[in-house]
DNA sequence: GCCATAAAGACAATATATTGACAATATCGC
DNA sequence: GCGATATTGTCAATATATTGTCTTTATGGC
């Protein structure tokens, strides 16, 4: 059982855990001035990146967490006036979660720190490598579903 | 600011969050019979994969979390007889965290489910792609440090 | 060796996430 | 349409993680 891919894979998994933690810490540091926590900017980011519109369980699937955890944070964010539950034409019970006007302003501010950060982090990385990685990550996700 | 790499990167970050969650869920399902939780098998995995030996803050760095969170779980695992704090020749105060005899047995059982899983998940993925991804992930980690 | 700076353990407060369970409602194959 | 199955919202208990703070000790440059 000395498959080199086995070790490579387990190493990758561990390294992904680490990157995950660092990304969250980085995001929190970056958004400190905006009154956001990672639980919040993750939700905002997921909504913003989705073209179709997302329900609470949909956000949970995209973020890889339990729908209950997402429900909790979206409820708070709706109460805070950042998000709005809007009617879902495709599902009578499960509302679409959208950005309120204030939420959009917050997202604009988020983009102002996030965009330069994203560009800074990728300027010396070939597009091709980013694509390969994204493809592989998606492939792994498909296996785990 | 229509850098395609920007969108690619943000998409990657979100996708990594998702994979992270799925990996944890998968690991928990896989280790259910061993009485392990993800907080525990992550620590065991980190120790096992490190050749040098790790301290509590060292494990925290590898896993990308706070040293306090790791301290908490290692304290519990030492109390449970899975881990042992052993003297650290390189640092007088910060003990090395090692597997007890029972911890090693647990690790053996862990390997028995983990190895087939790792092989199964990579059998149709070229080694080269795994290496590219691991390299890119490491590169991002370095930037975020 | 000395000293400024960094690292580590410890404790507490709080935030976030998982898990399990239940009722209500959608969805989809037929 | 109908009915089995899956999904969703909700509530509660618990586990896990972050953050802030303080004290104690290492570490590394001089």
Instruction: Pick out residues 59-88 of chain B having their CB under 7 A from any atom of nucleic acid strand D.
Output: 64-66, 68-69, 72-73, 76
Rg (C-alpha) for chain B, rounded Å, is 17
- Predicted pLDDT at A37: 92
A86, A31 contact by CB (below 8 A) = no
User: Distance, angstroms, CA A134 to C1' C10?
Assistant: 41
Nearest to B22 among A8, A25, A64 (CB): A64
Put the strands of the sheet holding A83-86 in their side by side order.
A54-55, A96-99, A83-86
Region B36-56 average pLDDT: 91
Rounded to whole angstroms, the distance from the CA of residue A48 to the C1' of nucleotide C28 is 30
CB proximity B137 to A under 8 Å: yes
Euclidean distance between CA atoms A12 and A20, whole angstroms: 12
Share of chain B above pLDDT 90, in %: 79
Predicted confidence (pLDDT) at residue B3 exceeds the cutoff of 80: no
Of A8, A49, A139, the CB nearest to B14: A49
B53 Cβ within 7 A of any nucleic strand C atom: no
pLDDT tens by residue, B55-76: 999 999 999 999 999 999 999 9
Residue A107 Cα, gap to closest chain B Cα (Å): 14
Q: What pairing do the DSSP bridges indicate for beta strands B54-55 and B96-99?
A: antiparallel
pLDDT of residue A2: 65
Residues in chain A with pLDDT values less than 70: 1-2
Domains and CATH numbers, chain B: 4-144 (1.10.10.10)
Over 80: is that where the pLDDT of B1 sits? Answer: no
**For A15, which of B8, B119, B134 is closest by C-beta distance?**
B134
Gyration radius from chain A CA atoms: 17
Could you tell me how many helices (H) and strands (E) chain A has, helices first? Answer: 6, 3
- As a dihedral over the C-alpha atoms of residue A105, residue A108, residue A109, residue A112, rounded to 10 degrees, the angle is -170
The number of helix segments (H) and strand segments (E) in chain B equals 6, 3
Q: What is the pLDDT of residues B4-41, one digit of tens each?
A: 899 999 999 999 999 999 999 999 988 888 889 999 99
Contact status, residue B130 vs residue A136, Cβ threshold 8 Å: yes
In chain B, % of residues over pLDDT 70: 99
Question: Strand C positions with any atom < 7 Å from protein CB?
Answer: 7-12, 15-21, 25-27
* Nearest partner of A110 among A24, A31, A26, A29, judged by Cα: A31
Distance of CA A95 to the CA centre of its chain: 19
């Amino acid at each position: 059982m000395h498959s080199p891919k086995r070790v490579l894979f387990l190493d990758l998994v561990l390294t992904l855990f680490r990157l995950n933690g660092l990304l969250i810490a980085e995001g929190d540091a970056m958004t400190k001035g905006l009154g956001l926590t990672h639980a919040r900017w993750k939700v905002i980011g997921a909504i913003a990146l989705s073209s179709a519109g997302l329900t609470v369980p949909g956000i949970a699937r995209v973020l890889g967490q339990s729908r209950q955890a997402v429900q909790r944070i979206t409820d708070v964010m709706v109460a805070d006036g950042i998000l709005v539950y809007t009617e879902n034409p495709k599902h009578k019970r499960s509302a679409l979660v959208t950005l309120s006007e204030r939420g959009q302003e917050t997202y604009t501010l988020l983009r102002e720190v996030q965009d330069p950060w994203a560009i800074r982090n990728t300027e010396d990385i070939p597009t091709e490598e980013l694509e390969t990685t994204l493809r592989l990550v998606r492939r792994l996700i498909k296996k785990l579903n």
